[in-house]
Amino acid sequence: MREPPTAVDAALRALRHRDLSARELEERLRAKGFEERERDEALVTLERTGLIDDARFAEARARSLAARGAGDRAIRHALRLAGVAGESIDDALQALAPEAERAAALVTRRGIGPKTARYLRGKGFAEDVVAAAVAGANDDELG
């Protein structure tokens, strides 16, 4: 007869697919019916062994979102939803190319115009960054 999986076993299965924040992992364990004590013990064990690390998660997630065209505001929001602490979010954003550079690259790829400006705003870029990226692209075109 097989013993039911432990909270650590369930957490390891969840981490097999992708890195998760401690809060995301805790929520998954709660959804599977593990008691608070079991969840806490599993999280402590996995943090101690380095299998969950919110700073590492934040940096990887920020890079992934930035690569898909997200601005700092959108990245910050996604990391907050994942339960990452403010300091780790700030560090993850600092590790990225500056938001203005990322916006300028998108303008170069998508072209200048209101449609691109709306796209950047929708992707969480700051208004001043959007304005500067579009204006900077116009300056480059004018010589």
Q: What is the DSSP string of 87-137?
A: HHHHHHHHTSPPHHHHHHHHHHHH-SSHHHHHHHHHTT--HHHHHHHHHHH
Query: Are the C-beta atoms of 84 and 114 separated by less than 8 Å?
Result: no
Name the pTM for this structure: 0.88
- Binned at pLDDT 50, 70 and 90, residue 3 comes out as confident
Average pLDDT over all residues of the chain:
93
Q: What share of the chain is helix, strand, coil (3-state, %, to 5)?
A: 70, 0, 30
pLDDT tens digit string along 18-62?
Answer: 999 999 999 999 999 999 999 999 999 999 999 999 999 999 999
The distance of Cα 30 from the centroid of its chain, to the nearest Å, equals 22
Query: Are the C-beta atoms of 120 and 131 separated by less than 8 Å?
Result: no
